[in-house]
Amino acid sequence: MSRVIVVAYRPMQGKREELLGLLAQQHRRTRALGMLAKQPPLLCEGTRGEIVYIIVLDTGADVDRVWEDETFQDIDARIAGIATMTPLRTLDEANASYMDLAGLALQGA
């Protein structure tokens, strides 16, 4: 069974574009590890600037294996330096029956 991973980040002021670039690097690394399903990733933005990143891991992929990769860890540490991982329930859009977010293009996906 595939695994859907949804994560939201609140970038620091002036760090939105850098965050988007790092998410693209993270996506390429996960693909290089052979962990992603065929579905393309989704990248969205909330009304308060939160970036929501949605990927589908391949059937049988162990999500923990991604975080064991040193390159992925390095990218994740850079993300942590410019953005805060945000619980999905804190997004304004999470208070509705469905989430209506602005779609964004993932750089180099």
Please compute the mean of the pLDDT values over residues 32-43 and round it to a whole number.
89
CA-based angle 98:103:95, to the nearest 5? 25
| pTM of the full structure | 0.89
Give residue-wise pLDDT tens across range 21-31.
Answer: 999 999 999 99
For position 70, what pLDDT does the model report? 95
State the CB neighbour count (10 A cutoff) for residue 30: 23
> pLDDT higher for 58 or 23?
23
